[in-house]
Structure 1
């Protein structure tokens, strides 16, 4: 029997963080004016972002468009940043039901 669990892509965390923050810097003023204290999930590769009231909401929106991607999350206007890797989990019947989060501060 083969393992059919989707594999997360291997990434260079330093490069991922650097490029994500560079993209955030490009949209920071707009986000801080329009959505202070909310959360944003960033994908620098597509130059897209998703905003949510919570980190989970922003990530869920991003994962709807790109289920296999890894996103960088920032609380808008906060000096603290964090990234998140998520893997969609299956329930006992193989139905996708939730996300597990691995946080990196």
Structure 2
């Protein structure tokens, strides 16, 4: 099982900070209306796919000598982190589904 405390992302931390600030001030966020859950999940999935593709492309560039070792390692680490989060999310969703199926009707 993946330990979520080990997975850090500047995007997640920034989103959390914005949420906490909005809750403490009691103000509604400025800008467009928030997305529904399906859109957020779809956007996250497309970003995950993009991250994996970028990692693959950077690995190919590294093998052909078009990218530095540091760039390849950074892209690979970002790709690995994305895959770990995706697998952990999948596991949680399957676990939640199984729990719902065990509920008496």
On whether the aligned pair clears a TM of 0.5, the verdict is no
| Greater share of residues in strand | 1
TM-score (norm 1): 0.29
What is the TM-score normalised by the length of structure 2? 0.29
Q: Between Structure 1 and Structure 2, whose CA radius of gyration is higher?
A: 2
Q: Which one has a larger percent helix, Structure 1 or Structure 2?
A: 2
